[in-house]
Structure 1
Amino acid sequence: MNYATRVQRVEPSATLAVSNLAKELEAAGEDVVDLSVGEPDFDTPDHIKAAATEAMEAGETGYAPSNGIPELREAIAEKLQGDGMEYEADNVIVTPGAKQALFETFQTLVDEGDEVVLLDPAWVSYEAQAKIAGADLTRIDLRPHDFQLEPALDELADVVSDDTELLLVNSPNNPTGAVYSREAMNGVRDLAVDHDVTVIADEIYQHINYGPEHVSLSALEDMYERTVTINGFSKAYAMTGWRLGYLAAPEELIDQAGKVQSHSVSSAVNFVQHAGVTALEERGEETAEMVEAFENRRDLLLDLFDEHDVDVSHPEGAFYMMVPVDDDDKAWATNALEDAKVATVPGSAFGTPGYVRISYAASADRLEEGVERLVEADYL
């Protein structure tokens, strides 16, 4: 059997590969501290679950409009307008997860040989989705700048040109937890306008933020017409398994991306979309409580690593931390899982070898246990 070139360009998701190995060890009776998966360890709020149940009981179990039910598209547009953006309901496609929104955007905008610029460390699926679309990748290494974008703007300016098709910006960032400053975003805006480059703004961790200002690129001058904003419900509302996300963009792009949606996944699940309306319109204290817990866990990890003289960056958002390890980070992560029974993700999966990513979407007790095991096994 011959396999398509676009599939052979990419590797399986490293985060899911580590998680699968951890689950195999757990199934064999091992106690694994799994710090690999980006999934809040909180339950979906009860009022959101109740809204889904009510929608099912009301018969909202059939096909939904491909781009999303009108109520949810309106609620998303209202949310985005509250963030200073100009999107209306017709600028929104509701997708089965933010990952699908990204996939549809790449498929809509990228042709074979187009240049896509990534900021490293970059979430694992950006590279894969760009390659599936046929892109040539250019990467900017943010490691020398403590994972911040602002000090690297000159380097970014050296590579972004009139030939650049797409630039991807993710803030708060997975895997670093960095939140890019307004100055950094203004720098991106200047380059995008000067070279007429489209920017994907992945804002899925927008609400997992520990104080710094969140800047939405589409809200900046002259960026509405050249920005695709990606967001969703998985992180802020602990709805990972519900698979509900969206993209917002100028109507012409929506018309084109809607073709991809209609011929692939058709639509997001009907009753899940009704739950999404409730999540946006009846937002309670659950998100704030979750963010406070994540911030406390971040501080705990920073203290623990400081006690053991491990120099780590200071995350300002999301729930991840990049920890420096051996140059062969893949071997380090595999051995740490097998020897210490602690699951992490190799930094090379994010374009940043020499690190592993730790997710602190786990209880404080498990975080302490994980660090203790790594220390006792001489991995820290």
Structure 2
Amino acid sequence: MIIVMKSGTPEMEVERISREMMDWGLTPEKIIGKHKVVIGLVGETAELDPLQIKENSPWIEQVLRVEQPFKRVSREFRHNEPSEVAISTPNGRVYIGEAHPIAIVAGPCSVENEAMIIETARRVKAAGGQFLRGGAYKPRTSPYAFQGHGESALELLAAARAATGLGIITEVMDAADLDKIAEVADVIQVGARNMQNFSLLKRVGAQEKPVLLKRGMAATIEDWLMAAEYILAAGNPNVILCERGIRTFDRQYTRNTLDLSVIPVLRSLTHLPIMVDPSHGTGWADYVPSMAKAAIAAGTDALMIEVHPNPAKALSDGPQSLTPDQFDQLTQELAIFGQSVNRWPQVAVALS
């Protein structure tokens, strides 16, 4: 349930109503929009009469029920106001959301060694990326596959951050590693295999770093949004949803099926920012440029693209990784698409 206050409502009145809702056993959450303040009510609201609440103050414009099972995540909860995630990086604050330019995240699947990660980070930055992705801890289907270098890889990510000023996005697999990952990462990633690890979701929700929540390989949209609800319910509102492909019938020609239709669906259901990962979504480097461009056309707020200096020798996910030269060419092409929908920094673009 949400209480929509009239434009110009005094702050004291907003606080008074919030206190009264707390007396009723509810948790009020104040959401400040462009023109109005909304008070979200979390708790048992089924028996509450919206008219009774509205009569409490002449400053209340509307009292509306949130019909979706996901409450805080719902677009209704913010009275159709999109949210944005502000991420502090050494190069400055970066905003991800539908009112901002498209953010670019790029880097290797796994951190392999210092020279490789710093070289890749420099090329990502030179091409216009704002964030470096790289796995220190890697969940793999096979127990014999490369699992990442762990804590030593975090030190290499920190070195890449210091060398380039890029923000760092890396995955947490185990809650026991969360604190040391948070010391290095600017965004904590919860991967597809852990999307419904509810104890982990509660832990990342209880810390302050923004969270990138990837869609599970077989997750419905509601499953995904309810997973995000766990994070918000634990206290962290800074969640980015990442579509990375789902499993369907055809595994011969693509690794997954990239569900681009989810972008407009999410836009209608949730206020959270949206990222698309065409690398995992297709599994083949040749298909990544087309799907990245299509994601911009569909309305994504950010892209995550795998880049490796030598994909043929990558320890994981080489076939879906672009070389730095290919990534540089792609970002120049993406700029044209981004500018066409007013979602790209206004800089001159010269295709080679």
TM-score relative to the length of structure 1: 0.27
Higher strand share: 2
Higher helix share: 1
TM-score relative to the length of structure 2: 0.29
Bigger relative CO (Cα 8 Å, ≥ 6 apart): 1
